[in-house]
Amino acid sequence: MSEDYDAPSMSLIIPEPFENPADGYGFQRTLFEQIASGERPPTVVITPSTRHVGVTKRDTHRDGFRDAVRAACEEGYPTLVRNAGGGATAADAGTFGFSVVRPSDGRAIGSGIRERYDEAAAFALGAFRRLGVEDVEVGEVRDEFCPGDHSLRIGEWRSGMKVAGIAQRVTKRAASVGGIVLVDGESELAKVLERVYSAMKLPFRAGSVGSLRRAGHEVSVADVVEAFAGEAELRYGAKRALLDGDILRMAREAGEEHIARADGS
């Protein structure tokens, strides 16, 4: 375990891809609540993606949101509302999510935000280095999806591309930080995101949507997932754990609440 981290023993969970993307959201929510209540230890979770557009609760109140949901649906992407902040994202088989979830340390909700962003960025950069990917750096990209100064990019601000985005969720009982990693399939993601951002009248540049493959790195999603898993084992001393049927059942039930519909229901 890295000497930079003194957290208690952590679990590492890598579920199989969820056939229904809403189940994946329900899984993340259920896991967060179980960690918040002390039922599970702190956990690193690496989740293969299923096609969807993910929006924030803030997005649901924007003018044009219903048009955005319809546009995503026309492109074959259901829209889900996530609990973390940031902006709209798109995911498919060429992407995956990662997060580090811990119970609250008793500090105020607004504290530790920068530290968590720094931690998630360092975690991702460490995983990329395992693959020999050395050209990724921390920094915002002009007119990117889910904009933030802790994006992971290749290239510079004006014309560079984003290969990972980071967001977090914090409550009085737990905190989660992580994001989405783009390995391939960026053209299709850019297409749907362009329609979603246009509908909500938000700035967006299709060229900002990158991927490791677009940058010339011949790696598969499985390769990158395993690199993130190896980094979690080294950095946190995380131990791989299996999922039980109960959490998967609860995930299906919780996932329904994250589905966004164009009629506002």
The rounded average pLDDT for each run of 10 residues, N- to C-terminus, in the chain (265 residues) is: 51 95 96 95 97 96 97 98 92 98 81 93 98 98 96 98 96 95 98 98 98 98 98 97 90 92 68
83: in domain: yes
Round to whole Å and give the CA distance between 11 and 233: 9
pLDDT value for 264? 58
- The total domain count for the chain is 1
**By CB neighbour count within 10 A (0-12 exposed, 13-18 middle, 19+ buried), where does 57 fall?**
exposed
pLDDT of 2: 37
Integer Cα distance of 206 and 15 in angstroms:
30
The pLDDT value given to residue 4: 42
In a domain, 135, yes or no: yes
- Residue 250: inside a domain: yes
Read off the CATH number of the domain in which 62 is found: 3.30.930.10
Residue 242 in domain: yes
| Confidence (pLDDT) at 243 | 87
Residue 5: inside a domain = no
Q: 61 in a domain, yes or no?
A: yes
- Answer whether residue 6 is part of any domain: no
Q: What does the pLDDT read at residue 5?
A: 40
In a domain, 3, yes or no: no
Domain that holds residue 147: 11-260
SS3 content of the chain, % helix, strand, coil (to 5): 35, 20, 45
